[in-house]
Amino acid sequence: MEQFYRHLGQTLDDIEFHKGRTPTTIMLRLRKLFQRAQPSERELRVLHGILADAQRMAALARPGIGDDR
């Protein structure tokens, strides 16, 4: 779970989710949510895949990507 929380936190940073919100508070709330849900290993792999795709899309959306054509 800790690896998932690190990945989630990094992804939220990558997509600039916080925008004025306190990252610590958001992560505490999300931790509580996922602790209640108790996701299986398979479900965690799906969530990691979603986060990886979100990070990939965030990287493509950053200024400077593809400007050197």
Q: What is the pLDDT of residues 52-68, one digit of tens each?
A: 999 999 999 987 655 54
Single pTM value for the model: 0.85
> Is residue 45 assigned to a domain?
yes
How many domains does the chain fold into? 1
The domain in which residue 13 lies consists of 2-61
Q: How far apart are CA 67 and CA 69, in angstroms?
A: 6
First-last CA distance in the chain = 41
Q: Provide the CATH number for the domain around residue 31.
A: 1.10.8.590
> Is residue 23 assigned to a domain?
yes
Q: What is the pLDDT of residues 21-48, one digit of tens each?
A: 899 999 999 999 999 999 999 999 999 9
> Is residue 34 assigned to a domain?
yes
